[in-house]
Amino acid sequence: MKMSKPPVPENRLQATRAFLQRKWVKNLLFMLALIIVYLALRPFMQGDVVKGPAPAFETESITGQPIRLADYRGQPVMVHFWATWCPICQLERDSVERLSKDYPVINIATQSMDDEGLLAFAEEHGMNPNQIVNDFDGQLMKAFGARAVPATFIIGPDGNVSFVEVGYTTPYGLRTRLWWLQ
């Protein structure tokens, strides 16, 4: 049985068009474009994130509970900046909440809404309001040097920033980093 060969395009332009019209090539080019955009924006998103000792802060949760970063000395803690209007933050919300059952997490809602609005948001989404700090004016976020949300700082037992992630990160990545520092 003789196999027939596919028709050969008449010139290079037709061959290139035929190649680019294949679905997998379109998908690959789209993914490459997304990666390039992500890599181009990453330096801006990282901003001038703090390195070394984490900025000390004392504040209150939206329920009035005092929160001091110094109280977590001797154990790893995750400081997580997010916003109610951020779609990427919504993707991370449930995994951060689950993680907070095993490790100390300080959730800092930045530039979002007032305390009452955040309380309603926390209730609606099953979040622990005792761990949520309202950084309405973005001053805490500025102290940590982040320019975008979500921004996650994992602080080691010594009080130094050990890991920083701006943008989406997997729950496994966060859990592994916290476990590593124990």
CB distance 156 to 73 below 8 Å: no
Structural domains of the chain, count:
2
Query: For the stretch 55-94, what's the b/e string if a residue is b when 16 or more beta carbons lie within 10 angstroms of its beta carbon?
Result: eebebebbeeeebebeebeeebbbbbbbbbebeebeebbe
pTM of the model: 0.75
Q: Is the pLDDT of residue 77 over 80?
A: yes
Helix (H, G, I), strand (E, B) or coil at 113: coil
The domain containing residue 56 runs over which residues? 52-180
Answer yes or no: do 30 and 63 share one domain: no
Q: What is the pLDDT of residues 83-130, one digit of tens each?
A: 999 999 999 999 999 999 999 999 999 999 999 999 999 999 999 999
| Nearest-10 Cα torsion for 61, 158, 171, 166 | 80
